Amino acid sequence: MNKKRRIALAAGIAPLLVVALPAGPASAHGYVSSPPSRQAQCAAGTVSCGPIKWEPQSVEGPKGLRSCSGGNSQFADLDDDSKGWKVTPVGSTQTFTWRFTARHATSNWQYFANGTKVAEISGGGQQPPAEVSHTVNFGGLKGKQKILAVWNIADTSNAFYACIDVNIG
Ligand SMILES: [Cu+2]
């Protein structure tokens, strides 16, 4: 192969390599869409919020946190219990749906009711589909509860957080 031809080939391949690279900064991840989580309510304009309204899927923080904001000060709105979050009436069990904009391999999903773990579902280290639903049994809990849903990523030290305000009837 002569030199000219080799250069032409390299030039032809380069754009393909760019396209094949994984999506750039991890700016897209996931959140609980139903019942509407606090960040979903921000995104929908149900409650007026700061920058979380533009990226409800981005509440990412180290694993093991128990806050609605995942420790992100720019999303502190989510930790404010007095913002008038819409409370969803539920029964003794309720299905929660996650919407993923980046389908990270999953260690597990956990659900906490006012700090007590009520459910844990394994993700088997696999990539989830674009939407995943879990039916959570609240046991004997009644009344207003702040549910913290956690998505623990398998291949990083991070997790995603979403709080959902419910009233268990
Ligand atoms: Cu992500």
Query: Tens digit of pLDDT per residue, the chain (169 long)?
Result: 444 455 444 444 444 444 444 433 445 799 999 999 999 999 999 999 999 999 999 999 999 999 999 999 999 999 999 999 999 999 999 999 999 999 999 999 999 998 899 999 999 999 999 999 999 999 999 999 999 999 999 999 999 999 999 999 9
| Model pLDDT, residue 13 | 45
| Model pLDDT, residue 164 | 98
Report residue 50 CA to chain centroid gap.
18
Q: Which residues contact 141 (CB under 8 A, 6 or more apart)?
A: 113, 118, 168
| Cβ–Cβ under 8 Å, residues 153 and 104 | yes
CA–centroid distance, 100 to ligand 1, in Å, is 9
CA–centroid distance, 26 to ligand 1, in Å, is 5
| Model pLDDT, residue 147 | 98
The CA distance from 167 to 108, in Å, is 25
CA–centroid distance, 108 to ligand 1, in Å, is 15
CA–centroid distance, 31 to ligand 1, in Å, is 11
| Model pLDDT, residue 114 | 86
CA–centroid distance, 29 to ligand 1, in Å, is 4
CA–centroid distance, 102 to ligand 1, in Å, is 5
| Model pLDDT, residue 27 | 55
CA–centroid distance, 39 to ligand 1, in Å, is 16
List the end-to-end C-alpha distance of the chain, in Å, as a whole number: 76
CA–centroid distance, 27 to ligand 1, in Å, is 6
The CA distance from 118 to 150, in Å, is 12
CA–centroid distance, 109 to ligand 1, in Å, is 15
CA–centroid distance, 155 to ligand 1, in Å, is 11
CA–centroid distance, 148 to ligand 1, in Å, is 19
The CA distance from 135 to 117, in Å, is 14
- Strands 88-90 and 158-168, by their bridges, are parallel
CA–centroid distance, 159 to ligand 1, in Å, is 9
- CA angle 156–116–38, rounded 5-degree value: 65
Buried b vs exposed e over 137-146: b needs ≥16 C-beta within 10 Å? ebeeeeeebb
